Chain A
């Protein structure tokens, strides 16, 4: 297994891309803005006690649609072109001419690009933590849980992106598929998607059926909010376990499909 060598190469290469640092800046601005709003604007109303927990609760609760969509966008951006671009440029022939199996290539790319995403996120996480110190009770434990969960979500999307990138042979096609997926993610999170499915299957409106929450959480951005509730003190119930499994599945299933297609592809 040589995936570590591929991951190292991938990290070294991607970290030098200016677009990556633009991406890190976007996330950092978002994190700082959110922390700032929570700390000063809400605090001025004196209605909410300022703690790390209330902050995380706000971000993964009410703010989850926005955070998760941003993480999805950034994660997919980091992953979606990585294999296809190597096929377009021909560097895949250099890579596969060395003793790397195609599985090593795919796994190495997920590992390297995930490290890149987490490095980019780290800027925002640290900036946000600097604000957290000014809170009455920073609750760093809860905040670390949030960092871990958000990173996991990001890695799931990097992996999904690498999976899509491995599955198709052209940049144009992977771009189309990735944007279609992003649209579907956001659409699903509004509740309209699951509502339509429930109506189509049962003729009933809205969350009348017991499995509605499970259906809503088949996409990792929705599942993210469910697991977030656990971090800020909720119970570890069946829905939380399911949601965690969903996030992990998005890290594994598209990648397995992509590898299956890439394994025998002509490059």
Chain B
């Protein structure tokens, strides 16, 4: 069974092609990370999957039905990217409205607790911060134990704790059996929770693969830069750690690690042989990923 399927899905605005003949398959029960930089066409694609926008050509189906089928939406939980709330209604009233609309029997209190909004539940949503609004909409998306969650940039605008909570909820929902379609422009937000990652670029799917296979194709994912007393000794020590390739740049040792956890191993190895004055780590940005995927 395919949760989301698009065939030749295309959206044009005048001369601009926002989404170009997209063929997408999201398997039932999977967590699909939908990546791409801002402007790649992710939100337009999601808009067509959710019937917010009509495709210029092609079609999208959700569990085999047209997106404008209201009955299908009872099985889907939605967190759109550019959503608004009703400023005069409280957080609790938003959740209650979703429960009534979905003919579900969830306890609003429980859902608000899951997104850590229980203390602000009776305040009007007009006074909520951007992050609180996002968590509120996530709570409404969880109403009725949906078979499919469509989350557009669910972690953007959240603090690290909030983003982690979102990833936990994604895993919990997936364990329950839900399919999760999770978009982000940051690789790090999706790699920990997704089975499959699709990378969109300029309205097209540049790559679809499992996270492991994608990482293999990408080679280095994170870089560790060490400012040390003895660069030669440090490079030698780092070379001893399996799976890393150190180089010396501008008097610092730069180590590319395929596995993020290797950074600590390298750090430990180097500290045994010389003094470490400073170190920084950088994750591969999605732009690097695109370079690899589309030109590599």
- Where the two chains meet, the residues of A that have a C-beta atom closer than 8 Å to any C-beta of B are 2, 5, 8-9, 12-13, 16-17, 86, 89-94, 96-101, 104, 264, 266-267
From B47, B68, B73, B85, contact of A94 by CB (8 A): B85
The 9 listed contacts between A and B (C-beta, < 8 Å) are A5-B97, A13-B88, A91-B83, A91-B84, A94-B94, A96-B50, A100-B101, A104-B70, A264-B54
Known interface pairs A91-B83, A93-B83, A94-B83. Does A267 touch B101 (Cβ–Cβ under 8 Å)?
Answer: no
Q: Which residues of the other chain, A, contact B203 by a CB distance below 8 angstroms?
A: none
A94 touches B70 (CB 8 A): no
User: A93-B52, A94-B137 known; 4 other A-B pairs, CB under 8 Å?
Assistant: A2-B70, A93-B80, A98-B97, A104-B70
A99 touches B74 (CB 8 A): yes
Closest to B52 in A: A267
**Residues of chain B in range 64-97 having any CB-CB distance to chain A below 8 Å:** 68, 70-71, 73-74, 76, 78, 80, 82-86, 88-89, 93-94, 97
B68, B85, B97, B98: most-surrounded residue (chain A CB, <10 A): B97
Q: How far is the CB of A102 from chain B (nearest CB, A)?
A: 8
Q: Which residues of the other chain, B, contact A2 by a CB distance below 8 angstroms?
A: 70, 101
From A17, A86, A91, A97, contact of B50 by CB (8 A): A97
**Residues of chain B in range 19-60 having any CB-CB distance to chain A below 8 Å:** 47, 50-54
A98 touches B52 (CB 8 A): no
A91 touches B71 (CB 8 A): no
B140, CB-defined interface residue at 8 Å: yes
Q: Which residues of the other chain, A, contact B93 by a CB distance below 8 angstroms?
A: 12
Q: How far is the CB of A116 from chain B (nearest CB, A)?
A: 12
Known interface pairs A98-B73, A99-B74. Does A12 touch B83 (Cβ–Cβ under 8 Å)?
Answer: no
Q: How far is the CB of B52 from chain A (nearest CB, A)?
A: 5
- Where the two chains meet, the residues of B that have a C-beta atom closer than 8 Å to any C-beta of A are 47, 50-54, 68, 70-71, 73-74, 76, 78, 80, 82-86, 88-89, 93-94, 97-98, 100-102, 137, 140-141
Q: Which residues of the other chain, B, contact A17 by a CB distance below 8 angstroms?
A: 88
B97 touches A99 (CB 8 A): no
B88 touches A16 (CB 8 A): yes
Closest to A96 in B: B52
Known interface pairs A90-B83, A264-B54. Does A99 touch B70 (Cβ–Cβ under 8 Å)?
Answer: yes
- A9 to B99 Cα, complex, angstroms: 12
Known interface pairs A94-B137, A266-B52, A267-B52. Does A86 touch B84 (Cβ–Cβ under 8 Å)?
Answer: yes
Q: Which residues of the other chain, A, contact B52 by a CB distance below 8 angstroms?
A: 93, 96, 266-267
Known interface pairs A5-B97, A13-B88. Does A97 touch B78 (Cβ–Cβ under 8 Å)?
Answer: yes
Q: How far is the CB of B148 from chain A (nearest CB, A)?
A: 12
Q: Which residues of the other chain, A, contact B94 by a CB distance below 8 angstroms?
A: 94
Among all A-B residue pairs, the 9 with the closest Cβ atoms: A97-B78, A89-B84, A90-B84, A91-B84, A266-B53, A93-B80, A98-B101, A16-B88, A99-B73
Closest to B143 in A: A98
A100 touches B70 (CB 8 A): yes
